[in-house]
Chains A and B, each alone.
Chain A
Amino acid sequence: MRDLVVHYDTPLGAVKATDAVSFSLGAGERLGIAGESGSGKTTMALAILRLIRPPGRIAAGEIWLQDVDLMSLSPEAMRQVRLARIALIPQGSMNSLNPVTRIKEQILDALRDHDVRISRRQGQERVRELLESVGLRPEVADMFPHELSGGMKQRACIAIAISLRPRVIIADEPTSALDVVVQKQVMETLAKVQQDLGAAVILIGHDMGLMAQFVDRLGVMYAGKLVEISPVRDIFIGPLHPYTRMLIASLPSFEAKGTFHGIPGLLPLLRDLPPGCAFHPRCPHAFDRCQRDEPRPREIQPGSWASCHLL
C-alpha cells in the first residue's frame, strides 16, 4: 500500500479517514493494525478490497497484490480477487451468516460465486475438509447458525474465508464479541489455517494484548495516519511514537497495581484536525514545530518507522 488516502465527503467538506498510509506485507506475515475507534483502521482494510462505499472514496494511493495493481482492475476482476486472493473476515461476521441456510450451503455458495465447478460429492468433501481445518465436526455442515455457539460461528466464517485458498486474510476484530477463552481458540484456529495456507494475515483491532501475542509486525494508527510500524517485540519493549508509548501505558497489567494511566485529552475530530502533528494537543513532549509541520514517516531503526519530530 502506497500513500492511501480515503475521503468521506460531507456537507462540511472532505474528511480524511485514512491519510497517506503506506506499508508492505510479506508472504505469510502477520501484520497488526491497531488503533482506537475512528482511527481509520477499518476504512484502510475495506480500501484494500475496494469496498469503500459512497460518501467514501479512495482519493489517492496505490495498492499492489504481488504484481497486480488493484486500483486498475475492472469491477468484475476485483470481485474475483476478493475471497480468491484476499479474503475478509469483517467485524461481526459471525452475525452475518444467513440464519435460514445450512452452514454447508453457505460455504458452497462462496465457491459457486467464484465459478468453482465441482460435483456434489466433491463439494461435500470440500466442506468437510474446510470444517475440519477450523476444528469443527463434520456434522456442523448440516446445522443452522443458531445451533452453533459464537466461537463455532466465527470458525465457520474462517472456513468460508479460506475456502478459495487466499494469499491474504484480513480479519477485522474477529474476536471482539467473544469471551476470552473462546477468543483464544478462534485465534489458534486462525493461526493454524494461515500456516496451512501460507497466507499473510492483516489483523485489525484495538486489543493490544491480542496484537502482542499474535502478530509479527504492528502498525499503530491515530486520526487516520499510521504513526508507527515496527516489529511487534520492539513496540512492546521500546515504543517509538509518544502515542504508542502512552497507549501501552494505558493498558491495565497484572504485574503491578495502579500503574496504568489514561491519555489526557480527547481523540481529535477527523473533520477538524489540529495543524501539524494530529497528536500534539495530547503529547507531553510537543514543541513549537509539532504545531506547525506534519511529521513524515521515517525509518528510525532497521524495520521500525515512525512519524514524530522528536525522533
Chain B
Amino acid sequence: MTATRPRKPPAPVTRRVARWLDRRLGAADFARSALNKVFPDHWSFMIGELALYCFVILILTGIYLTFFFDPSSNVVVYHGSYAPLQGVRVSEAYRSALDLSFDVRAGLVMRQIHHWAALLFNASIVVHLARVFFTGAFRRPREINWMIGVTLLILAVFNGFAGYSLLDDQLSGTGLRIAYSITLSIPLAGTWMASLLFGGEFPGADIISRLYVIHILLLPALIAVLLSAHLFLVVRHKHTQFAGPGRREDNVVGERMWPTYASKALGLFFLTAALLCFLGGLVQINPIWLFGPFSPAEVSSASQPDWYMGWLDGALRIMPGWEVRAFGFEIPNPFFPGVLLASVTFALLYLWPFLEARVTGDRAEHHLDDRPRQRPVRTALGTATLSFYSILFLGAASDVIASSFRVSVNGVLWTFRIGVFVVPPVIAFATYRLCKELSARDGLPTRSRVTFRQTFRRLLFSSDAASG
C-alpha cells in the first residue's frame, strides 16, 4: 500500500475525513459529478423545493411535539394554567395539547410553526403541481414522477388532516365525525371500513391513538420514501428548462450545483424556516383552548377545516339533498361529494399525462417546458379546473359569507351550486382567448379562428415554437 507515514505537516481535518471516507466508499468521482450537476434557474422551479423544506421543518418540529403529546382518549380533569378550562373533564390528548401550549416553554411556538408548516407544505405542493401542469413538465419521460407527486399530495393532505385531528378539540372532533360519515357512506365496504378504522361506532376509543401512529410514523415514512424517489427521478431525468438561447432538448443549461446553486438552496431553506418561525410566533393558529374539548353533542357555526380540506367541505355543502335508494339499499348523500368527487379528482390527476398524450398524439420526450400560452387548450382546462375547486373552497365558507354580507345562506349556497357549473367554462373560454392573444403578440404562429380539433393538431406539431 502507498499510505504515507506522515513526516510532513498534517492535512486539514476536513480533508483527512474526506480521504478516510473515500478509502471506504470510493466516492470522489461521484461527488465531483454531483458538484458539477447543472440546474436551470427559474423562480417557478423553487416551489417544489419549498415543499421539501417545509417537510424538513415539519419533521424537526414534529419530533419535539411528540415528546410532550399524549395520544389518549382517557378522560381526565384539567388542572393546567389555562384558567377558563379549570376543572373541565377532557381527554388526555386535549390536556397534553393544552399543557404543550401553556406549560411547556417554547411548546406553543413549536406547535404553531408545525401547523403553519403543514399549511405551507400542502400549498407549495399544489402550486408546484400547477407549475408542472401548466408547463407540460409531466410529459414523457416524467409521467412516473408526476404520479409519485400526485401520491405525495394525497399523503400530505391525509397527514395534515390526521395531525390536526389528534388534538381532540371541538373543531377536530367535528372533522373526524365528518370523516367517519364519509367512510360510512361507501357502498358495501363503508360500514366495515369505518368500524375497523375507528375501532367501532363513532367516536370510538381507539381513533386518537391510531391516528397518532398514522400521523407520526406511517404517512411520514411513506412521504419520505416517495420524496426520495421523486428527487432521484429529478436527478435521473435532469431538470426541465424553458426554451431560450442555447437551450435545447438534448442539454440542460444553468448554474452548477457547487457553490452557487447549493448556497441558494440552503439560503431558501433558512428563509422558509424564517417565514414559518415568524408565523408560528406572531400569528395565532388553531387555538384549541377557544374551541374547547370535543363533545359529540356540540358544534359551533363557522367550523372550517384547514385550507386543503376546504374543497371537500365545500362540496359537501353545495351538494343538493339527493340520495340513491333501491331494493332497500342506499347510496348516501356524502358518497357523491366525499368519495366520488375525490376519487375522480385524483384519478384524473394520475391519468392526465396519458390522457393528454392520447389527445395530442404526442408521445415524444420533452425536456423543454411549455409556456402556458403555447398550449391554449391545456391551459384553459387547467384554469377551469382550478376555478372549479376554488368555488368549492369558497363554498366551505358559505355560512361566513352569509353572515358577513348579511345575505341568506340559502342564496349563497344556490349561487355556489350554479357558479360551480357556470364559472369554469367561462374561465376556460377567457383563458383560451387570452392564450391566443398572447401567443399572437409574441409572434408565435397562430390562426385567429382555431377549432379545438385544429388546436390538438397544432399541439402536436408546435413543441418547439417558442424557441424560433
A and B physically associate? no
Partner-B contacts on A (CB < 8 A): none
